[in-house]
A and B are shown apart, each in its own frame.
Chain A
């Protein structure tokens, strides 16, 4: 089996337009959540979100490109460019055929769907732009990354709601570990903050109107965000041979299905995914110093997740640090695990644990060290990243300090 290194990272999200800006914001406990600024917001009862601000599509892409790039594709390309530049790789020669793209998204081109349904239903237009289908399809982002960077190997899109990008990165890990690829550009992207997207979420009545406060007793729901995180996963020996800067090593992955309920999480399914990732990595719970939680800020997720961690970690649950950065950037749905992996890299590389901000009241059902409100210094050798999706599909990654 091949070892897998991470040699590049890129992002655009509510906390920043680069990895450096995002990790600085995570250190500082910055909140990127605010009033939504989208069309028809006055008809929404939820007007809070983690929007990417200060981003001008016209400064990054030309008119022909924008005719084909939904916002989720734009975010992906911005993040991929940063990640691949950092890796120092180019895919001109034989490496192209051994390199691919595996990305997660849940809604794909939801803004494109929203705008064009509006055009034909509300505005009564009988014609839409010819490229709506290639713009809205869920694999558009993966395909455009493959075209932009000449990646000709295994490439596809994974859609498992809130676990999409962890599932995608897990597939990337397996493809390289099993020898099917040398390099996979992986992660995820989401852009659901449009009228129809938020309206659909309102219906579930799980959204907060004031803040995302994971693990806090007074938490009252999730807040949605948007953005992308993209990483270069590379065969470890390949990376070593070219003296690449290795940000971290991916050492374990596990996925499970609750087979129980379409929205309510299961402690058993989560616990099996967490213990599965440890087993796959060949480590025990005591070696894990930090867990990036799924931590959505809903009543149901946070207590179930804490119970699952306590169940798997036993006494070490009292020592391990666990935080939810969703408190700062919101829930990026299909892109969330990717942006949250930046907190994992920061923990391993810089010894800084991102906080759970907005934490106000201890909850006896979430009695773990959730790194409340302020970042903390800690030297950690291994970290886990949890993602538990609607539909009961769970994906947990294990990373090791390089």
Chain B
């Protein structure tokens, strides 16, 4: 499951960055990848639809969100947690 979550999240981010999933590395930030604020909300929407979860995120105060967007790895970790909480 976990590997699937990671692959799917990377695929979603890669799509917003107009890159191949293989070109996305875990330590990159979304802005390194060229994902702007609109790309970010589109990625969150795709994540919510893919995993049937709700991601708490307000673009006005991203730092206050439980959804850590500082790197690809942190996004994957957050989504894994949301998915685990949902199935718990």
Contact = CB atoms under 8 A, between A and B. Distances in A.
A221 to B, nearest CB: 5
Given A203-B45, A205-B44, A220 B58 contact: yes
B75 to A, nearest CB: 15
29 contacts: A45-B54, A203-B41, A203-B45, A204-B41, A204-B59, A205-B41, A205-B44, A205-B58, A206-B58, A206-B59, A206-B60, A207-B58, A208-B58, A208-B60, A209-B58, A219-B60, A220-B60, A220-B64, A221-B58, A221-B59, A221-B60, A263-B37, A263-B38, A264-B37, A298-B60, A299-B59, A299-B60, A299-B61, A300-B60
B36 to A, nearest CB: 9
Given A205-B57, A262-B38, A264-B37, 19 more contacts: A45-B54, A204-B41, A205-B41, A205-B58, A205-B59, A206-B59, A206-B60, A208-B58, A208-B60, A220-B61, A220-B64, A221-B58, A221-B59, A221-B60, A263-B37, A299-B59, A299-B60, A299-B61, A300-B60
Interface string A175-218: 00000000000000000000000000001111111000000000
Contacts of B57: 205
Interface of B: 37-38, 41, 44-45, 54, 57-61, 64
A241 to B, nearest CB: 51
Closest CB pairs A-B (n = 10): A299-B60, A221-B60, A205-B59, A220-B60, A220-B61, A205-B41, A206-B59, A298-B60, A205-B57, A220-B58
Contacts of A208: 58, 60
A87 B88 CA distance: 65
Contacts of B61: 220, 299
Contacts, number: 34
Contacts of B60: 206, 208, 219-221, 298-300
Q: State the majority secondary structure of interface residues on A.
A: loop
Contacts of B41: 203-205
A261 to B, nearest CB: 9
A262 B64 CA distance: 25
A26 to B, nearest CB: 25
Interface string A240-273: 0000000000000000000000111000000000
A21 to B, nearest CB: 31
B78 to A, nearest CB: 15
Interface in A2-50: 45
Nearest to A301: B60
A206 B45 CA distance: 14
Nearest to A209: B58
B53 to A, nearest CB: 13
Nearest to A206: B59
A186 to B, nearest CB: 32
Contacts of A221: 58-60
Interface in A299-333: 299-300
A298 B62 CA distance: 12
B47 to A, nearest CB: 13
A182 B53 CA distance: 57
A282 B16 CA distance: 48
Contacts of A206: 58-60
B2 to A, nearest CB: 26
Contacts of A300: 60
A378 to B, nearest CB: 30
A241 B9 CA distance: 70
B50 to A, nearest CB: 16
A300 B44 CA distance: 20
B43 to A, nearest CB: 11
A263 to B, nearest CB: 7
A204 B57 CA distance: 10
Contacts of A219: 60
A48 to B, nearest CB: 13
A205 B37 CA distance: 10
A264 B58 CA distance: 15
- Candidate in B41, B54, B60, B64 with the most chain A CB atoms within 10 angstroms: B60
A207 B56 CA distance: 12
A148 to B, nearest CB: 41
Nearest to A45: B54
Contacts of A263: 37-38
Interface in A210-236: 219-221
Contacts of B58: 205-209, 220-221
Interface string A126-149: 000000000000000000000000
A171 to B, nearest CB: 31
